[in-house]
Amino acid sequence: MDIRSVGIVGAGQMGNGIAHVFALSGYDVLLNDISEDGLKKAVATIDKNLERQASRGKISEEDRAGAMGRIKTTLALPELGPCDLIIEAATEREPIKNQIFETLAPHLGAQTILTSNTSSISITRLASRTDRPERFMGFHFMNPVPVMQLVELIRGIATNTDTYDTLLAVVGKLGKTAASAEDYPAFIVNRILIPMINEAVYALYEGVGNVRSIDQALKLGANHPMGPLELADFIGLDTCLAIMNVLHEGLADTKYRPCPLLTKYVEAGWLGRKTQRGFYDYRGEVPVPTR
């Protein structure tokens, strides 16, 4: 199938990044959100990030202008229905995702492919709630989308080969690299990454090290570009906890038990960079460890 138009549900950090890369690659993009302010902020963010790319010579000014011209926004979810490809990039809560697909159902084109950018939820289960499980896939981008090269492609039990091949070709056109994952909790990247972050939180919880020493140890001792607690703040502690809960419930193994300290931070509303406090406090000029 030739994909030309792409509908994106959710204009947050992931959604605006996905819109950015699709528009820059020549696709017509229709970006949806529940908030007009959210849409305006997303478009402003995309414009700023494209301008940064242009100023660094990575794209031309014509590329930037063309990409911005291909992005349209809407508050009306059904307007995405005729798009060739729809990417759900809403919050990591299964009931919300199911509601989105149910709302879209009466308005979808016959050949529309549905995908979810979920980082951990069962693709087979999400697909089963739609009228087209054979044309449903996990399409998991990494954050920040314009920078990160990887896209995880996750087939549900009913996904057909044409759908997979179509999305594989789309990833290539975006200039990114696809990794195929089976439909098991958290797929590949987060199956490995988030338990590592959870273990770092346990090391903090048990007093093995403080925030700064744990992050410094992994940056200098394992050559990680970002320490695990700093990375958790970047991802969002609520997202980390949600993925750990999916792993714990889906695999029934105690090694995936979320650290109580991670739960406590989320309960406090200290979710990382997006709330200005997490394992670091971002309200000053320089991030300061909170433990």
Q: Which residues are annotated as a binding site for NAD(+)?
A: 10-15, 33, 92, 97, 119, 143, 274
Active site residue 190: yes
Residue 79 annotated among the catalytic residues of the structure = no
SS3 string, 242-263, reads HHHHHHHHHHCCHHHCCCHHHH
Active site residue 119: yes
Nearest to 214 by CA among 282, 272, 279: 279
d(CA 226, CA 143): 13
Length of the chain: 291
Q: Is 20 a catalytic residue?
A: no
Residue 254: alpha-carbon gap to chain centroid: 26
Q: Pick the catalytic residue from 5, 20, 32, 152.
A: 152
The H helix count followed by the E strand count for the chain is 11, 10
- The DSSP secondary-structure symbol of 112 reads P
Question: Of the candidates 43, 89, 35, 38, which has an alpha carbon nearest to the alpha carbon of residue 70?
Answer: 43
Tokens of 122: 């069962």
Instruction: Given the residues 190, 198, 230, 248, select the one marked as catalytic.
Output: 190
**Side-by-side strand order, sheet with 177-181:** 71-74, 28-32, 5-9, 85-88, 113-116, 136-141, 150-155, 177-181
* Active-site entry in 140, 198, 230, 248: 140
Catalytic residues: 119, 140, 152, 190
